Structure 1
Amino acid sequence: MSFGFLLSFTLLIAYASFVSGGDCVSSRSHVARAGVMAAAVGVDDMFPMVSAWADTNHFIFTGTTIIFSYIAQVTFLAGCFVIHGRRVENSRHCLTCQPVLTEEALKQKCGLFRCCCSGKPSRERQDSLLERLPPLILNKCLITTSGKVVTILIFLTYLGVSLWGVTKLEQGLFLENLVPPTSYYSNYSLNNWNKFYGTRIPVSFVLKKETDYFDENVRQNFKMLFQKMGSDEHMNNATQICGLLDHVNSQYLNRSSLSDFVANFKSFLTVNLYAKNDVVFSESDNNITALRCHMISMNVPDSMDQANLMLRMRNLAAESPLLVFPYHSTFIFFEQFVSVLPTVLQTLGIAVVVMVLLTMLFL
């Protein structure tokens, strides 16, 4: 849709350029640049929906359509614009291409004929007020010392605001901004954020494959995982919630056999209900098929710190010999914080390369 709109807009620009005696090389470059950039960005895996579409034949069909549309524009359509410009210059009718009668000859015709078959091209270009004023004002301002100083200050201000935005502007959604400042929720949200809870993330480590937790090495690996997790600068080791580790340190632990270990673990869960929903036993009740443990982070208000926390937890899970993965419902939003910088840099890099190549080819 965006490409079609851009193409239509470019055709209008090209038509105006030919009629006024100019050229449309720059317009053609804009269309080609847009098509190439759209295709290049489309295959980027940072955009799952677009990249999935790009893996199908639709991408090949659309790319071929853009290429042939561009070829038709710079060849056939340009020729049509030339013929149209000559028709307008020679005062010929838009449908019949017959010469338009002079004003004296038109006086002898009826009103309907004069309405449909009269007219002549404008011989003088008439610029609007908005086209005439900026050159006059800027030419007078920029040649003075004060004008140059003001221009430099404006540029430095723009550069400073851009640098501030890159380094200080935070990502994320602040729900209190969606309601008026006088609302109850805005007051509650700000107080909860600044004075009480803040942003504390309960990270869950999930093992969804049947594992022999009776094995001492497995329990030690699980214990080491949570020790490393608790030593992280943004994690609160005092908030650990893990039924397996609590069971290992309790009087319910039975090391005689796997069945006794599982049976005593179930007895432990009947007393300590906080971990009951974090353990799934097999249908035969002789092993554990899934397990999860939790630890709550410190207050992490910065979005990049949240994204880095997610990456560190994933690295801990990858380094562990256990088949475990960390999860929290907000991780899907933290993915954006991680991918936004490389995505922006890649998009800008593609745009710059395409613009340079097209400028070298067509200008």
Structure 2
Amino acid sequence: MARCHTNCIEKPVCIGFEKLGRFIGRNPWCFFVIPLLISAGLGGGFYFLKDREANDIENQFTPVNGPAKTERRFVQENFPQNYSEFSSQRLYTEGTFASVIAVSTGSSILTKEAFQEILDLDAEIKQMSVRADNGQFNYTHLCVRTKQKCVSNAILDIIDYNASKIEDRHAQFHMTSSVSQVSPFTSLSRQEEFEGNSKSVIPLFSITYFLAILFSIVSCLRFDCVRNKAWVASVGVISAGLAVLSGFGLLLCCGVPFAMTVANSPFLILGIGVDDMFIMISCWQQTRVCDSVEDRLARTYKEAAISITITTLTDVLAFYIGIMTPFRSVQSFCLYTGTTVLFCYFYNITFFGAFLALNGRREKSNRHWLSCRKVPEVCPQGSSKAYSLCCVGGAYDSQTGCEEEQPMSHFFRKYYGPFLTNTWTKVFVVLLYGVYLGTSIYGCLQLKEGIDLRNLASDGSYVVNYYDDEEKYFSKYGPNVMVVVKENVAYWNETIHIDLKACMKDFKNLTFIDGTVVTSWLQMYETMFSSVDFNDKRAFMGNLTSFLNVKPEFKQDLNISQGNIYASRFFVQTVNISTAVDEKNMLNKLRETAQNCKVPLLVYHPAFIYYDQYAVIVSTTIQNIVVATAVMLVISLLLIPNPLCSLWVTFAIGSVIVGVAGFMALWQVNLDSISMINLVICIGFSVDFSAHISYAFVSNKNDNVNAKAIDSLFDLGYPIVQGAASTVLGVVALAAAESYIFRTFFKIMFLVILFGAAHGIVFLPVFLTFFGICSNKGEISTDHDKKSHCATGGGAQVTRKDNDLVHRQEMGLSFKDQSPEMYTNHGADLMDCP
């Protein structure tokens, strides 16, 4: 059966990269210095960072064109705020305020001692004064007023600001303490705490880069003082840093807003950049040591081209698709991260590739990795082991002409692969996957929507304490909702009158509405002027003026112009709204009731601006995932020359997304604009881990499905582990952050990498053995199959050896026992370097 290859794109891309690699190998200094100059120039964009900061919570974390924002504009235009007759329920924004919750540490707050503390606090606040450029101000200068007096506290008015009277109105209480605990909050608190979060994560950058450099050096560490690639690993991490400097700097220069969520990006970029570094280093190690540096780099680029290109394309497109979301915080993050990933790709194939060539020149002349002095290839007689370890190097496999094999690759072929393909292990893996899938689906059913505003503050913030106290003690009564008649209707018309009453009755009958707490100018008007014939416009409008003179507070509820009422509003009180589900259901039911009314109505409360996220968060997430998955499928079909791989890639994407969504719910993470980002990221990383495992399997020529799986794990097991570990290390410092936003990013990225890697080295290899009949068997080997094949997926390489060679190695025969003419490497005879 002939194999179907869709390599019409893969082949020219590889050829183009081969030419580029050879050119860079000949001119490494140019490609090393020019990126440094570019990053230095673009880095100047950080000068505008302060001006580009966009940390307004409403702007960043609510839907761009949410219905509540349209409703607010209507309310604002028709019912302008009257600050001389202040009414908190009539505000169309949260307003400018300070709030204090006093909680008794004893059994009740209704004691003389507790209220005396409250009165002392009230007096202290009223005596406060602040100095500004235009003078000094105290409470009486700044307070909102009604009837020319500062608005007072209703509870303190009842006791006439006398603490002893509180016990006159109630039975005595048994108490253990009269000391009260105070939780303050102002209209600026949430914003100030939110802005402070981004600064708190800055120290974590140094920890992350230290861990990344340490891990990269350890992964690339060799006991050969010539082949040691510690400097190469360090430059790979620096390359990711230059990408952040350039990508951020460019967008800051272009005036793109910098939201706080963007602060997560450098951690992710570091992981992606190090992944590509491992790919290129591995492909370099599979080239012949005796070849010229430009030939080795050309071969490296040819083999790494598809790997890092797929990684970059999938990640970049996943991020750019995220720009379609209606949340500006997500848009900013995706634009900054996607652009920076492109720079990371650019610097990896220029800056890092150039340094790889420079390091190759050092290896070519057999110089020490640290001192750059020439060292002998053979240890002189009588030398110590320490001298041999530190001052002798340059060894390579004389049979393959390449650097010596990694011990971890040997582990995957010799131990892990046979263990995983054991029948009983397969049964266990299938059961394990069933548990994983079942738990994930259960978690998805528990998933909550929306961002809790208290999570925008840091841990231990007074804002969190305030929200906790408010939820615990004052959650019975929810928003006081405006019901607005949004058109010029004839209130004196009997039919309109009946319809409007029916609408208000529908609102009162809702389970979360307290029907006894309704503010209605029309109801009060009818009560006070019951003898008036309301079916006559002249009588209705004439007496309305008299009514408003008696009840001036209702003037703010009517928009009267030229004898017509162009808009009016009523108020209904919601109750028992304590969870995000309650908020979502309340908003949907209120809008549904308003829509079903025969009179044109809208409902509004300032909190609806934030509740609007519930209406779009699920649909937007699903839309992004579907679009991104389809795009990844197309990329896989175009760049991976085997259509069957695309089906396995799609399976892995779906499985990982379900797993991450389910387990993040069990880890107390809501589906909000922050977690939405990470679910889109899932797709890119799922492709990275799964694409080449499946391709390595279906393109393997071995008839035995278990042997196919073992070969695939030998090729890709260690690269996937390297890539997964490097990405987790890139974000692990965020686990220590004192902010929900950053911890959430870590949690979901950890799940993405864990489940993506598990699919790559556990689930997919086993499942592929069950469907091995779908792959290609017994075909004539092409040059493409003989060549060194580097993988994507966060890591590194593979050199696909002849099956007979692998079999001889597994039987314990050394390379030296075989004739070197039997084997080919990159189409050339293998022999010792002259």
The TM-score, its normalising length taken from structure 2, stands at 0.33
The 1:337/1:256 distance shift into structure 2, 3 A limit, reads closer
Deviations 1:290-322 (A, max 9, x none): 421122335344534532332332234344464
Task: Give the letter for the 1:311 counterpart.
Answer: N
Aligned residues: CA RMSD:
5.1
Structure-1 residue corresponding to 2:576: 299
The 1:77/1:158 distance shift into structure 2, 3 A limit, reads same
Deviations 1:13-37 (A, max 9, x none): 3421322227322222010111222
Structure-2 residue corresponding to 1:111: none
- Unaligned 5+ runs, structure 1: 95-99, 108-117
Which of 418, 423, 443 lines up with 1:165 in the alignment?
443
Which of 326, 332, 352 lines up with 2:629 in the alignment?
352
Deviations 1:172-206 (A, max 9, x none): 538699669xx89857744655xxx1x64432112
The 1:9/1:65 distance shift into structure 2, 3 A limit, reads closer
After superposition, residues 118-157 of structure 1 pair within 5 angstroms as: 120=394, 123-127=403-407, 132=411, 136=415, 139-140=418-419, 143=422, 145=424, 147=425, 151-157=429-435
Structure-2 residue corresponding to 1:223: 501
Deviations 1:257-284 (A, max 9, x none): 54542343354456667x6365235477
Provide the C-alpha distance between the structure 2 equivalents of 1:338 and 1:184, rounded to a whole number of angstroms: 27
Q: Is the 8 A contact 1:241 1:293 kept in 2?
A: yes
Task: Give the letter for the 1:29 counterpart.
Answer: I
Q: Give secondary structure in 2 for the equivalent of 1:103.
A: coil
Provide the C-alpha distance between the structure 2 equivalents of 1:163 and 1:63, rounded to a whole number of angstroms: 30
Task: Give the letter for the 1:341 counterpart.
Answer: V
Task: Give the letter for the 1:103 counterpart.
Answer: P
Q: Give secondary structure in 2 for the equivalent of 1:124.
A: coil
Provide the C-alpha distance between the structure 2 equivalents of 1:88 and 1:351, rounded to a whole number of angstroms: 43
After superposition, residues 76-155 of structure 1 pair within 5 angstroms as: 87=361, 90-91=364-365, 103=376, 120=394, 123-127=403-407, 132=411, 136=415, 139-140=418-419, 143=422, 145=424, 147=425, 151-155=429-433
Provide the C-alpha distance between the structure 1 equivalents of 2:375 and 2:460, rounded to a whole number of angstroms: 67
Residue 245 of structure 1: CA displacement? 3.3
Provide the C-alpha distance between the structure 2 equivalents of 1:186 and 1:281, rounded to a whole number of angstroms: 39
The 1:64/1:237 distance shift into structure 2, 3 A limit, reads closer
Provide the C-alpha distance between the structure 1 equivalents of 2:414 and 2:479, rounded to a whole number of angstroms: 56
Residue 5 of structure 1: CA displacement? 5.0
Task: Give the letter for the 2:636 counterpart.
Answer: T
Q: Is the 8 A contact 2:478 2:574 kept in 1?
A: yes
Structure-2 residue corresponding to 1:17: 282
Q: Give secondary structure in 1 for the equivalent of 2:519.
A: coil
The 1:191/1:305 distance shift into structure 2, 3 A limit, reads closer
Task: Give the letter for the 1:42 counterpart.
Answer: I
Structure-2 residue corresponding to 1:41: 322
Residue 47 of structure 1: CA displacement? 2.8
Residue 334 of structure 1: CA displacement? 2.1
Instruction: Confirm or deny that 1:26 pairs with 2:307.
Output: yes
Structure-2 residue corresponding to 1:97: none
Task: Give the letter for the 1:32 counterpart.
Answer: L
The 1:202/1:161 distance shift into structure 2, 3 A limit, reads farther
Q: Give secondary structure in 1 for the equivalent of 2:591.
A: helix
Q: Give secondary structure in 2 for the equivalent of 1:297.
A: strand
Residue 152 of structure 1: CA displacement? 4.5
Provide the C-alpha distance between the structure 1 equivalents of 2:555 and 2:609, rounded to a whole number of angstroms: 23
The 1:250/1:208 distance shift into structure 2, 3 A limit, reads same
Percent identical among aligned pairs is 20
The 1:68/1:213 distance shift into structure 2, 3 A limit, reads same
Q: Is the 8 A contact 1:236 1:296 kept in 2?
A: yes
Deviations 1:116-162 (A, max 9, x none): xx97476324446x9958984675477373x5565445434432332
Provide the C-alpha distance between the structure 1 equivalents of 2:460 and 2:360, rounded to a whole number of angstroms: 60
The 1:28/1:204 distance shift into structure 2, 3 A limit, reads same
Structure with higher RCO (Cα < 8 A, 6+ apart): 2
Provide the C-alpha distance between the structure 1 equivalents of 2:433 and 2:511, rounded to a whole number of angstroms: 40
The 1:64/1:336 distance shift into structure 2, 3 A limit, reads closer
Provide the C-alpha distance between the structure 1 equivalents of 2:556 and 2:564, rounded to a whole number of angstroms: 14
Q: Is the 8 A contact 1:202 1:295 kept in 2?
A: yes
311-320 vs 119-128, greater mean Cα deviation: 119-128
The 1:254/1:160 distance shift into structure 2, 3 A limit, reads same
Q: Is the 8 A contact 1:10 1:28 kept in 2?
A: no
Q: Give secondary structure in 2 for the equivalent of 1:307.
A: helix
The 1:152/1:325 distance shift into structure 2, 3 A limit, reads same
Provide the C-alpha distance between the structure 1 equivalents of 2:359 and 2:601, rounded to a whole number of angstroms: 70
The 1:360/1:179 distance shift into structure 2, 3 A limit, reads same
Deviations 1:200-237 (A, max 9, x none): 44321124665553444443342232233334454444
Residue 7 of structure 1: CA displacement? 6.4
Provide the C-alpha distance between the structure 1 equivalents of 2:579 and 2:469, rounded to a whole number of angstroms: 21
The 1:33/1:81 distance shift into structure 2, 3 A limit, reads farther
Provide the C-alpha distance between the structure 2 equivalents of 1:11 and 1:352, rounded to a whole number of angstroms: 22
Q: Is the 8 A contact 2:273 2:348 kept in 1?
A: no
After superposition, residues 234-245 of structure 1 pair within 5 angstroms as: 234-245=512-523
Provide the C-alpha distance between the structure 2 equivalents of 1:184 and 1:74, rounded to a whole number of angstroms: 48
Task: Give the letter for the 1:213 counterpart.
Answer: Y
Task: Give the letter for the 2:376 counterpart.
Answer: E
Deviations 1:52-90 (A, max 9, x none): 999xxxx8xx999988997x7999899979967975774
- Unaligned 5+ runs, structure 2: 1-243, 245-264, 287-299, 381-391, 397-402, 641-834
Which of 243, 249, 255 lines up with 2:534 in the alignment?
255
Structure-2 residue corresponding to 1:113: none
Structure-2 residue corresponding to 1:202: 480
